[in-house]
């Protein structure tokens, strides 16, 4: 026998589940009630813009009040309010939201998204309250104010209210174990965390608690360099200025807004922990959602706001989500665009940023084909060529880590070091080949270790051959990649057998300094070793080499290592 029908829900049984298990976190009730209040105000604006409300909408405002004696917490707004029918429709029916109907009716009248959607948020108030009351007056002409009460059982009362001001007050009589929400410090903190960027002033004891402005929702053309820096300082106070940032804003094929910054790598910047704040319609949802951005951009921090990121799924499910992967690709592309722009417009700034983020870019190139295509022409290497006036003549510039391991510094192993140390020249592979096309015949000479290969580097320089430094630990893998990618180029390590002929030649002509009884190469080598008391360049890379000489090592191995070394 075939039978069809509708599943029914037994309210007495399901209600406790909604109250207890809908959200894992009790404190989010405040976020839900405040976002309803913001929606109510936004809706009133939309109605007014559409010409359906002739009254004065006044100054939008949300007021939170604590009554310690009565043990109540109330949230009031001067928004749209509700009629008795609307209370019956949208409050008494669980999981029924007015949002869709409303947006449909007032399409195009909004500059601000409606936050609500599922029709469940209101009931989160029962996680902390034993009794919830609604006192509300609709904007509609001739509306009668109503008072709704519910003690957490499926029974409610609805009666007339003497209220005369438009808007809604939700009053929670807190459960005994939830009295922490009567502390104003606790409430302030919650508003700061969840509601800081909501576009309506939220007051407690006469004080406005929230910042209100969400810069990521502005058009990038409205924001100055200083605006972006100011926002960074607001999010991450007392930290050095970021190296660069990207402003994301797209509506298609997914909705995402946000500003992501690449921080300066410093020991106090913990890049191993994701620091991205995830928002949904300006309401804070969670921290540490590093799964959303591509792995090679792990150090990036800032704000992402999207209604297209699934919120209540596990981290692994998030990584597997198709939209999330596409958002990740979009972010990578934006970062690539930004790097190219910087490379084109401000080479000096690009190089200085490269010192911090070059490793991540190379990692991205090894792991992401699209990103590789996008930026392969702007990968730069430090070189022995004298490319800028800024580099002090004849003075090798070495980047070393200071002995306390605290900061990266440019150190010149000579007394000519001035206040601001000159930056070492960097070059792209293309520029290198172009510069050396006559001598090198498509050969690239590189050094993997400036200290131990100093003699060889010097020999090459003496012969007028330019040497590139591929001496960070990721370069071991990167050289494999380059060899595979540019098969017509011959990559030759300065100390490889092939070029020992150079050494022989040079030895014959080298002059020994009678004072030290050392050759020029030997002296240079010594000088380097002295200056490199804790060399960044001397990292042993062999251990990380993969078995397959042409294989790219798995990201799992590389990324933690990169992050560890960046600290
Ligand atoms: P959602 O916000 O997802 O729609 P809620 O359970 O939070 O779901 O709220 C249900 C409905 O109750 C809302 O859609 C709205 O119609 C109404 N409502 C809730 N709070 C208010 C308020 N402060 N002012 C006016 N209407 C409200
Ligand atoms: Mg809601």
Band the pLDDT of 528: cuts 50, 70, 90. Answer: very low
Model confidence at 29: pLDDT above 90? yes
**Listed range (67-71, 331-335, 416-420, 421-425) with the worst mean pLDDT:** 416-420
In the prediction, which pLDDT does 413 show?
A: 34
What single string gives the DSSP state of each residue in 415-470? TT--SSPPPPPEEEHHHHHHHTHHHHSSEEEEES-TTTTHHHHHHHHHTT--EEE-
Which residue has the least CA distance to atom 15 on ligand 1?
98
Q: State whether the beta carbon of 200 lies less than 6 angstroms from ligand 1.
A: no
Model confidence at 532: pLDDT above 70? no
Buried b / exposed e along 151-172 (16+ C-beta atoms within 10 A) = ebeeeeebeebebeebbbbbbb
**Residue 367 contacts residue 296 (beta carbons within 8 Å):** yes
In the prediction, which pLDDT does 152 show?
A: 86
Secondary structure of the chain: what % helix, strand, coil (to 5)? Answer: 40, 20, 40
> Distance from the CA of 29 to the center of ligand 2, in angstroms?
10
Residue 489 phi/psi, 5° resolution? -100, 140
pLDDT (tens digit, 9 = 90+) per residue, 242-278?
999 999 999 989 999 999 999 998 777 776 666 899 9
- Which residues fall within 8 angstroms of residue 431, CB to CB, at 6 or more apart? none
Q: What is the mean pLDDT of the chain?
A: 84
Model confidence at 525: pLDDT above 70? no
**Listed range (201-215, 290-304, 529-543) with the worst mean pLDDT:** 529-543
**Listed range (330-339, 408-417, 558-567) with the worst mean pLDDT:** 408-417
Q: Between these two residues, 475 and 421, which has the higher pLDDT value?
A: 475
Tell me the C-alpha to C-alpha distance, in Å, between residue 158 and each of 97, 155, 241, 272, 431. 19, 10, 56, 53, 78
Residues with CB under 5 A from ligand 2 (ion): 36, 116, 121
CA angle at residue 114 from 113 to 119, to 5 degrees?
Answer: 150
What distance in Å separates the CA atoms of residue 415 and residue 353, rounded to the nearest whole number? 26
Which of 34, 45, 98, 198 has the most ligand 1 atoms within 8 A of CB, as the residue to mutate? Answer: 98
> Distance from the CA of 37 to the center of ligand 2, in angstroms?
8
Give the residue ranges of DSSP H helices in 133-236: 184-195, 225-235
Model confidence at 440: pLDDT above 50? yes
pLDDT (tens digit, 9 = 90+) per residue, 417-435?
333 444 679 999 999 999 9
Q: State whether the beta carbon of 91 lies less than 6 angstroms from ligand 1.
A: yes
Binding-site residue set for ATP? 32, 36, 77, 82, 168, 315
Q: Residue 138: how many CB atoms within 10 A of its CB?
A: 21
What distance in Å separates the CA atoms of residue 214 and residue 236, rounded to the nearest whole number? 15
What distance in Å separates the CA atoms of residue 295 and residue 313, rounded to the nearest whole number? 19
* Closest C-alpha among 298, 427, 274 to residue 364: 298
Report the number of secondary-structure helices (H) and strands (E) in the chain: 17, 22
Give the range with max mean pLDDT: 69-78, 151-160, 295-304, 437-446: 69-78
In the prediction, which pLDDT does 401 show?
A: 36
pLDDT (tens digit, 9 = 90+) per residue, 76-88?
999 999 999 999 9
Binding-site residue set? 32, 36, 77, 82, 168, 315
The upper half-sphere exposure of residue 316, i.e. CA atoms within 13 Å in the direction of its Cβ, equals 0
Model confidence at 437: pLDDT above 90? no
What distance in Å separates the CA atoms of residue 401 and residue 330, rounded to the nearest whole number? 35
In the chain, what percentage of residues exceed pLDDT 70?
81
**Residue 232 contacts residue 324 (beta carbons within 8 Å):** no
What distance in Å separates the CA atoms of residue 151 and residue 60, rounded to the nearest whole number? 30
* Closest C-alpha among 76, 74, 66, 85 to residue 41: 76
What distance in Å separates the CA atoms of residue 117 and residue 164, rounded to the nearest whole number? 29
In the prediction, which pLDDT does 15 show?
A: 78
Rounded mean pLDDT of 437-448? Answer: 88
What distance in Å separates the CA atoms of residue 23 and residue 6, rounded to the nearest whole number? 27
In the prediction, which pLDDT does 394 show?
A: 35
* Closest C-alpha among 424, 464, 457 to residue 527: 457
Ligand closest to Cα of 123 equals 1
Ligand closest to Cα of 117 equals 1
Model confidence at 536: pLDDT above 50? no
What distance in Å separates the CA atoms of residue 296 and residue 300, rounded to the nearest whole number? 9
What distance in Å separates the CA atoms of residue 166 and residue 131, rounded to the nearest whole number? 23
pLDDT (tens digit, 9 = 90+) per residue, 6-26?
888 788 887 787 777 777 789
Q: State whether the beta carbon of 82 lies less than 6 angstroms from ligand 1.
A: yes
> Distance from the CA of 90 to the center of ligand 1, in angstroms?
7
Band the pLDDT of 509: cuts 50, 70, 90. Answer: low
Q: Between these two residues, 92 and 393, which has the higher pLDDT value?
A: 92
> Distance from the CA of 303 to the center of ligand 2, in angstroms?
22
Band the pLDDT of 522: cuts 50, 70, 90. Answer: low
Which of 34, 102, 122 has the most ligand 1 atoms within 8 A of CB, as the residue to mutate? Answer: 122
Q: State whether the beta carbon of 57 lies less than 6 angstroms from ligand 1.
A: no
**ipTM score for this prediction:** 0.99
**Listed range (232-236, 274-278, 386-390) with the worst mean pLDDT:** 386-390
Band the pLDDT of 177: cuts 50, 70, 90. Answer: very high
């Amino acid at each position: 026998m075939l039978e069809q029908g509708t599943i029914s829900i037994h309210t007495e049984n399901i209600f406790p589940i909604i109250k207890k298990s809908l959200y894992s976190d009790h404190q989010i009730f405040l976020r839900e009630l405040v976002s309803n209040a913001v929606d109510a105000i936004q809706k009133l604006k939309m109605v007014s813009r559409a010409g359906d409300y002739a009254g004065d909408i006044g100054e939008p405002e949300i007021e939170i009040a604590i009554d310690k004696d009565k043990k109540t917490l109330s949230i009031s707004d001067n928004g749209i309010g509700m009629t008795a029918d609307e209370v019956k429709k949208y409050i008494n029916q669980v999981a029924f939201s007015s949002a869709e109907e409303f947006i449909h009716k007032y399409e195009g009248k909004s500059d601000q998204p409606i936050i609500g959607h599922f029709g469940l948020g209101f009931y989160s108030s029962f996680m902390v309250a034993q009794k919830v009351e609604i006192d509300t007056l609709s904007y509609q002409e001739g509306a009668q104010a109503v008072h709704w009460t519910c003690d957490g059982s499926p029974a409610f009362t609805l009666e007339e209210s003497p209220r005369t001001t438009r808007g809604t007050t939700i009053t929670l009589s807190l459960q005994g174990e939830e009295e922490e929400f009567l502390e104003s410090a606790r409430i302030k903190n919650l508003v700061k965390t969840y509601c800081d960027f909501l576009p309506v002033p939220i007051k407690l004891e006469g004080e406005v608690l929230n910042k209100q402005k969400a810069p990521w929702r502005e058009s990038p053309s409205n924001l100055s360099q200083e605006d972006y820096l100011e926002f960074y300082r607001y999010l991450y106070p007392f930290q050095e200025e970021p190296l660069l940032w990207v402003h994301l804003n797209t509506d298609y094929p997914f909705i995402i807004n946000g500003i992501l910054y690449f921080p300066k790598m410093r020991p106090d910047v913990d890049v191993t922990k994701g620091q991205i704040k995830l928002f949904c319609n300006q309401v804070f949802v969670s921290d540490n959602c590093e799964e959303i951005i591509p792995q090679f951009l792990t150090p990036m921090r800032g704000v992402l706001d999207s209604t297209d990121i699934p919120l209540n799924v596990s981290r692994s499910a998030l990584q597997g989500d198709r939209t999330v992967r596409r958002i990740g690709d979009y972010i990578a592309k934006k970062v690539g665009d930004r790097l190219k722009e910087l490379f084109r417009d401000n080479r000096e700034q690009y190089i200085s940023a490269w010192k911090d983020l070059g490793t991540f870019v190379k990692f991205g190139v090894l792991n992401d084909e699209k990103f590789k295509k996008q930026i392969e022409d702007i990968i730069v290497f430090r070189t022995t060529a004298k490319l800028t006036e800024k580099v002090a003549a004849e003075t090798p510039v070495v980047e070393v880590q200071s002995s306390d391991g605290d900061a990266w510094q440019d150190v010149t192993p000579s007394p000519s070091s001035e206040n601001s140390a000159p930056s070492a020249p960097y070059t792209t592979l293309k520029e290198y080949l172009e510069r050396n096309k006559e001598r090198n015949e498509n050969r690239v000479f590189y050094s993997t270790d400036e200290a131990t290969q100093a003699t060889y580097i010097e020999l090459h320089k003496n012969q007028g051959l330019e040497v590139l430094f591929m001496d960070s630990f990721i370069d071991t893998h990167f050289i494999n990649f380059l060899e595979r990618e540019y098969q017509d180029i011959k990559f030759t390590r300065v100390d490889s057998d092939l070029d020992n002929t150079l050494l022989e030649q040079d030895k014959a002509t080298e002059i020994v300094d009678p004072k030290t009884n050392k050759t020029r190469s030997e002296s240079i080598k010594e000088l380097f070793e002295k200056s490199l008391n804790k060399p960044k360049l001397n990292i042993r890379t062999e251990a990380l080499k993969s078995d397959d000489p042409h294989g790219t090592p798995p990201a799992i191995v590389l990324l933690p290592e990169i992050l560890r070394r960046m600290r």
